[in-house]
Amino acid sequence: MSDGTHTDFNPTWTRDGLNTPIWNRKNEKNAGFHVVQSKVGGKPGEEVAITDESFHTWGHSCLMDGRIVVTSNRPKLGGGLFLLTRREGPKPVYERVQCELTAKGIFHRMSVSPSEKKICFEFISFERQREIKGGEPGHTLYVADFDVRERTITNLKPFANEAGKKIWFAYARWIDGEAAVVYHSGETGKNQLYVYRLEDGSTRRVSTNAKADYRYPHGEAAPC
């Protein structure tokens, strides 16, 4: 779907029944990204931008009504979390999502649960970013309640790296419906896979070889 001449990240599918592939593409004129989409069977050059390239927007996860969960630095609306409704051309509708962490840092790789009632994500505080000059700042992983209608994220619970160790914790994704979250951590020197279960708060390593490197897990039939 792309020809390798662009920096493209984190593809996923829409959940509106159309299975439209979307992904994030680095802007050529600034350090940000914009969101593009293609189609099943699409060829390089057929992809189109669905957000403006003049400012940063990153697509995370999709909703069944076609909206996309994004972070964006809108010139007039300011930075934050939004639900994006696609329109013809790169002029979508942005609806702000309220979350107590929005003013405190940056969200990475958010994943909406199958029922759309929960969300998991990585988070790095602005304070931690100021303290760390280069290198891994340390991501904290959260689960939270997600209200699509009210556009709110509440009841946040850190479940991995709450202390903010300078270690790579990433790619939290839903498995077993929404009973558990799988993620990877570089705490042992190699990226290992762990499963966090919401019911009892337990965490267990599920990768089998401590000397191997496991990354980027995804649950079956659960697009991010």
**What pLDDT does 168 receive?**
87
Residue 216 falls in which region: left (phi positive, over 0), alpha (psi -120 to 50) or beta: left
What pTM was estimated for this model as a whole? 0.94
**What pLDDT does 75 receive?**
86
Indicate if the pLDDT at residue 76 is higher than 90: no
Helix (H, G, I), strand (E, B) or coil at 162: coil
Give the whole-angstrom CA distance, residue 123 versus residue 217: 18
pLDDT tens profile 176-213: 989 999 999 988 888 999 999 999 999 999 999 999 99
Residue 188 falls in which region: left (phi positive, over 0), alpha (psi -120 to 50) or beta: alpha
Mean pLDDT for 98-113 is 95
**What pLDDT does 138 receive?**
85
Give the whole-angstrom CA distance, residue 54 versus residue 28: 10
**What pLDDT does 89 receive?**
78
Give the whole-angstrom CA distance, residue 104 versus residue 126: 6
Indicate if the pLDDT at residue 108 is higher than 90: yes
154's CB contacts (< 8 A; 6+ apart) are 99, 100, 144, 145, 147
Indicate if the pLDDT at residue 167 is higher than 90: no
